[in-house]
Chains A and B, each alone.
Chain A
Amino acid sequence: MARIVKIVEGQIDFHEALEAARSPRNGGLATFYGSTRDNSEGKSVHRLFYEAYKPMAVAKMEEIADQIREKWGVEDIAMVHRIGEVPIGEVSVFIAAGSPHRVEAFSACRFAIDTLKETVPIWKKEFFDDGEVWVGQTPSGRESGD
């Protein structure tokens, strides 16, 4: 059993994360790579910056890993989020879930990224030609979604 949950600055170590989720008892390993896009709602994005409330973010990611163990019995999981400046096209979040069978691995991986995006205190800022915006936060407080 291996679990990696962390927030890093600089490039994510995929090898380390994959090795945490890989095991001889696992016949399936599902992964999700979230990468920074060069566009958002029709506008060109030049760069992205992520900020985290680090101790709470790690605690929330640990909770997600606990929920995954309870729901699907999946114990081999890696969840790594990168913060700070992330160049366009690089990976900002990586999830790997290993399980004896593929269905649980896919479900765990999907649940991990979906729940992370909803509950983990991490924020993304997009920089455009004509300004910048914290995604989901507009001056009116309207949710722009993602």
Chain B
Amino acid sequence: MARVLADATVGTARAAAVVSVRLFAGAAEATGVRVHRMSIEDGATVDVAFDRMVEEFPALAALKSSLKFAVNQEFVEMDQRLSDGDEMAVIPPVSGG
């Protein structure tokens, strides 16, 4: 499943994982994005993936302290590692009911 991307800086190849990141409610509105596909190093953590999201969508930075994260529809900690094909979700404070 993992694809290989050339890493020009060290002249080697590194496995990459394509992850789709879903955003909801205030996080979707702040960025204007509901689904974002990104290529990251296989095994990178949710924390690293979120930092990459912040680089692309700076409005997420202000929300970070209130967010939770899920991978493949289970809540996870920031040190959860990601693999190719994973679905990561950015979960603002829930308010159903």
Known interface pairs A51-B25, A56-B70, A123-B25; A140-B94 also in contact (CB < 8 Å):
no
Are B97 and A116 in touch, CB under 8 angstroms?
A: yes
Cross-chain pair count, CB within 8 angstroms: 83
Query: Considering residues A59, A93, A123, A125, which has the most beta carbons from chain B within 10 angstroms of its beta carbon?
Result: A123
- The answer to whether B26 and A120 have CB atoms under 8 Å apart is no
A59 with B96: CB separation less than 8 A: no
Interface range, B side: 20 to 34
Asked if A124 and B73 sit within 8 Å, CB to CB, the answer is: no
Closest to A146 in B: B95
| Secondary structure of the B contact surface, majority rule | mixed
Closest to B75 in A: A119
CB within 8 Å for A51 and B24 given contacts A56-B73, A121-B91: yes
Closest to B66 in A: A141
Chain B CB within 10 Å, residue with most, of A53, A125, A146: A53
Select which of B25, B65, B75 is within 8 A of A141 by beta carbon: B65
A116-B97 Cα distance, complex, nearest whole Å? 7
Report B35-67 residues with CB < 8 Å from chain A CB.
62-66
Residues in B whose Cβ lies below 8 Å from that of A120: 94, 96
> A134 near B89 (CB under 8 angstroms)?
no
Please determine whether A93 and B25 come into contact, CB atoms closer than 8 angstroms: no
24 contacts between A and B (CB under 8 A): A53-B91, A56-B73, A56-B89, A59-B73, A81-B96, A121-B70, A121-B91, A122-B96, A123-B24, A123-B26, A123-B92, A124-B95, A124-B97, A125-B25, A134-B26, A134-B92, A135-B95, A136-B95, A137-B25, A137-B92, A137-B93, A140-B62, A141-B65, A143-B66
